[in-house]
Amino acid sequence: MVITLFILAALLLGILWLPNFGAGLTYHLFGISFFTECAFRKGPMVQLIGDNRAVIVWEACRADGDAQLKWNGAQEMQVPGIKLSYSKGTKASVYRAFLAGLPPGKSSYEIQSASSKSSRRYSIAIPPSDAGKLRVVVLGDNQSGYRTFGSMLPKIAATNPNLFLHVGDMVQTSYEDHDWQAYFFDPLRHSGLLSQVPFILTQGNHDMSDDKLAPYFPSLAQLPGRPIGYFYAITIGKTRFIVLDANTEDGDQVKWLERELQSEESLQADFRIVSTHIPPFIEFWNSKTWKKGEDQWPVYMRESMVPLFEEYHVDLVVSGHQHNYQRGQRNGVHYLITGGGGGALDQERVESLGVYQKTIIEHHFTLLDIDEEAIQITMRLKNGQIADRHDIKRKTHLA
């Protein structure tokens, strides 16, 4: 009798079985987690972190030992697990496999966990230097707006991007595992983008690195020759992507940027695109916090970096932080704010700087279609409708 009642109650309350999509096969019932066969709780995700360099990040569903990663069937790596304990009692291991000498083009990789006899194989394509065309999806500030973010990702996937450039604020609270799981990795996994597209990530103020964030986005200082801070540059196709860390306000990053913009890689690229979470020019924000000091947040970018953007002919600066869409131009440099990935929209105008020609206060994502002639910017609303389009012609006067 008791057993029958229990079964009936379980059936009636079946809706309480809330799938944890990150694991895919992990369920919660009455606060208790049930594990079935499960490969990865997060990832795998291929993050590009420099020329021919990447880190592949994944999290096992339980605390586990060393994993094996095989790249293109040849390069085999033993990857130590970083054991984590989450507040709800979940234990898991995060793995980071640093790869150098990564060849562009199509690759496959295979991950074998310590406790599972089966391995999983993935394929990914990194556009080569002779790629005639490149499609980059740019999005930022999804934060806790996972419904909007999740609804846009299938539309993004349908555009078949070669690269996903996130301009920061991937979560609301960087030290909450729930945020990373439910707001970031799960929606990306369900879209199919997570393991199929290489990512370039920009650190936002909500992603601020600490020990708890580090497993997913390791400090680049861990790599040989890297300065402290999450800034780096990488050539994809014929475009130089330069990622800056708006949270690291120091002179070393400024010196690094100048050296980078003077480098052959930067000078010989068809286009130079800078990504910085906090834009140099902000016009929409919360007026109360703006007056209480947040008006100072863009000053470092504006005063230290913008003169270099102008001197060294940066074509486009993409940003988030401000939750809407603005596109403009100033002294030969185009500025694009595309912070409509899901977080609550910024509706309140706090400045009029004369930089932007287009303002749209809607959730959205942006595509950059890059060929030898131009960067074509296409902004799509969350329903997929095109709301802005603009071409940035290639500069031909560079020395």
Distances (CA, A) of 389 to 64, 273, 375, 399: 48, 17, 11, 29
Minimum distance, C-beta of residue 361 to Fe ion, in the bound complex (Å) = 16
Q: Which residues of 154-184 are buried (b: 16+ CB within 10 A; e: fewer)?
A: ebbbeeebbbbbbbbbbbbebebbebbbbbb
Minimum distance, C-beta of residue 301 to Fe ion, in the bound complex (Å) = 12
Is residue 245 near Fe ion by the rule CB under 5 A?
A: no
Site string for Fe ion, 303-342 (x = CB under 5 A): ------------------x---------------------
Cβ atoms within 10 Å, residue 99: 18
Of 206 and 238, CB closest to Fe ion: 206
Strands 364-370 and 134-139: antiparallel
Of 20 and 172, CB closest to Fe ion: 172
d(C-alpha 75, C-alpha 54), whole Å? 14
Q: Positive or negative CA dihedral for 255, 256, 259, 260?
A: negative
Minimum distance, C-beta of residue 143 to Fe ion, in the bound complex (Å) = 8
Decide: helix, strand or coil at residue 345.
coil
Of the listed pieces 29-37, 151-159, 163-171, 311-319, which binds Fe ion according to CB under 5 A? 163-171
Return all residues near 24 (Cβ < 8 A) that are at least 6 apart: 38, 39, 189
Minimum distance, C-beta of residue 342 to Fe ion, in the bound complex (Å) = 13
Of the listed pieces 20-28, 38-46, 127-135, 197-205, which binds Fe ion according to CB under 5 A? 197-205
E strand residue ranges, 127-195? 134-139, 163-166
Minimum distance, C-beta of residue 206 to Fe ion, in the bound complex (Å) = 6
Return all residues near 11 (Cβ < 8 A) that are at least 6 apart: none
- Give the nearest residue (CB) to Fe ion: 321
Of 262 and 347, CB closest to Fe ion: 347
Minimum distance, C-beta of residue 298 to Fe ion, in the bound complex (Å) = 11
Q: Is residue 384 within 8 Å of residue 361, measured between CB atoms?
A: no
Is residue 205 near Fe ion by the rule CB under 5 A?
A: yes
Instruction: Say how many residues touch Fe ion, by CB under 5 A.
Output: 4
Among 59, 64, 169, 283, binds Fe ion (CB under 5 A): 169
Of the listed pieces 73-81, 122-130, 204-212, 252-260, which binds Fe ion according to CB under 5 A? 204-212
Of 42 and 321, CB closest to Fe ion: 321
For tokens 């409708």, the residue is: 385
Strand order of the β-sheet with 232-236 is 232-236, 239-243, 271-275, 316-319, 333-338, 325-330, 356-360
Of 95 and 281, CB closest to Fe ion: 281
The β-bridge partners of 318 are: 275, 336
Amino acid (one-letter) located at 388? D
Minimum distance, C-beta of residue 242 to Fe ion, in the bound complex (Å) = 19
Minimum distance, C-beta of residue 320 to Fe ion, in the bound complex (Å) = 6
Among 204, 279, 298, 343, binds Fe ion (CB under 5 A): 204
Chain positions contacting Fe ion, by CB under 5 A: 169, 204-205, 321
